[in-house]
Amino acid sequence: MAKKGARRIRRSPEELIADLKKKIEEVEQRAAAKELKQSGSIKRTLGIVRNIDKALEEAQEEGLTKLRHALAEARGPIEGFLSERGVKLPKARVPRGRKPKKG
């Protein structure tokens, strides 16, 4: 139900075209990411990332902070590569704060 006195703002054809082009680009990016996920190496890499995430959670439960930091460092470059290609990953629960001293 419209408010009394409220005026509807109509978009120009140029604005409509720009919005539709943006939607088309998004659909094309999703299709490319979906096609990329069909690759055997990408499938295995996604499995590796999921396993690293599980190991991060288990290391947190066991209180192994050095292991958590090592796993987070290993996940970083893989995550960067996949996100660069348009593959979305779940957000990892990486450790916060300073890294423990080596030794």
- How does pLDDT run across 39-95, given as a tens digit for each residue? 888 889 888 988 999 998 898 889 888 888 899 888 889 888 888 887 777 777 666
Residue 3 has pLDDT above 70, yes or no: no
- How does pLDDT run across 57-73, given as a tens digit for each residue? 898 889 888 888 899 88
3-state secondary structure string, 35-84? HHHCCHHHHHHHHHHHHHHHHHHHHHHHCCHHHHHHHHHHHHHHHHHHHH
In sequence order, what are the residues at sequence separation of 6 or more whose Cβ sits closer than 8 angstroms to the Cβ of residue 60?
A: 68, 93, 95
Domains of the chain by residue range: 40-86
